[in-house]
Amino acid sequence: MTVRVRYAPSPTGEPHVGNVRTALWSWLHARRHGGVFFVRIEDTDQTRLVPGSEGRILESLRWLGMDWDEGPDIGGPFAPYTQSERLPLYQAAAAALLESGNAYRCFCTPERLEELRNYQRENHMPPGYDGHCKSLLPDEAEARAVTGEPNVVRFNVPDEGSTTFTDLLRGDITVENVTLDDFVILKSDGFPTYHLAHAVDDHAMEVTHVSRGDEWIPSAPRHVLLFRALGYEPPIYVHTSIILAPGGGKLSKRHGAKAILEYRDDGFLPEALFNFLAITGWSPDGTTEVMTKEQAAAVFDFEDLNAHPATFDVEKLEWLNGIYLRQMSLADLSERFAQQLERDLPPEVPRPLDRAFVEEIAPLVQERVKLLPEVTPLVDFFFATELPAPDRETVLGKPFRERPEAARAALDAVVAALRPLELWEPAAIEAALRATAETSGEKPGDLFMLCRVSVTGKSVTPPLFETMAIVGQELSLARLEAAAGVAGSA
């Protein structure tokens, strides 16, 4: 059996971590077993469509590195892969179910259905359709439909017996048919509901495994009944656990329930988010946490998923992101930094940035950055030919606040020590500054901070000596002299 799995989103908004995690597991399962992963757009609920949503869905998968073998953009042997383009298939299936007696037309108005819901609510009855139109003779129902009277098609759930389906993570689950109402499979506008459309398509597209959230478990018996009534073999069901907020409860946006592309915009790496989603509810051995897509695909199997809810741990995601940044090659890291800096730096900084220059800077901050946007405030001064006039209080800081004349003298001594340097490199700069600290009687840490703030305008920067080497001798001396003038002013 060739494994065939699908990601079948509705283009009704941004793809979020929950359903993309389920798609990611399907992708891993297909890659592990040499199968097919395809995308199908389920757009039969025309009232909820959001313009641009389909493009964002595909962009999210591309960003995460999840390729697909068939889909709406590339086609495939079972095209089209957009449900609104497959309406005749669903209508034919509904007609076959009507013909076999496994479905019937329902002419109940929205007002009657609302009255029914209110009655059931007031009398503490389980919600569901009461079978009001089930007794209509088929010929009578068809005659009414021909006249244009609005109607839907409902599946005729057996009144007796039970339905059993197998969930790969939970085993056999049995439901009494009496607890299931006659659900709608074809709406009055001729579009199918999810129940009918996915059953027809999963059979037609030869889907072997259906992976979806465990909120679909109550609907699974209905789907099994539909498959059997249509003469189809049901797929293998994998109902995955939900993701909870830290401490339990529903995952909200402040806990991490964001759209996938928001994580990109927040500076997370796709490799880190992929890794994080893969292990949030699965582990190959109970201990391994850092793994590439290829490593995960080599060992993943649906059967190893945890049936219990997982917790969204944003601290772990940030930790993973830092790991991937630190493991990145210099060329790749520099390019990611350059792209981020081009988004963040002031417009007066010329674009594109000199990649070779960024590559000089990148190693200085590689160990300090967990998210890409953190790089900008650490290195923006490298790209400024002129820093704002130094603030006296900032230059002096705590060590020199009561001794401004000492700060002026120390900076003058630094300039005198650095100006003659013929080799402007970190070791020579460090030696000159340490010698100046010793001769001036200042603590090295205090002197270094004085120089750091003077050259960069910041108290937190990459390593001082490497920073000054990249800033250059002429510009470093100019900034030190300007700071000395400010420190000595009354």
Catalytic residue IDs: 253
SS (H, E, C) 397-419: HHHHCCCHHHHHHHHHHHHHHHC
DSSP of 156-217: ---SSSEEEEEETTTEEEEEEGGG----EEE-TTSPBPHHHHHHHHHHHTT--EEEEEGGGG
Residue 258 has phi, psi (to 5 degrees) of -110, 165
Before 80, cis peptide (omega within 30)? yes
Strand extents, DSSP E, 243-372: 243-244, 310-311
DSSP of 468-480: HHHH-HHHHHHHH
Nearest Cα neighbor of 154 from 112, 188, 202, 201 is 188
Token pair in block for residue 328 = 């990145």
What is Dmax (Cα atoms) for the chain?
A: 107
Query: What single-letter amino acid sits at 198?
Result: H
Residue 450: Cβ-neighbour burial (10 angstroms; 0-12, 13-18, 19+): buried
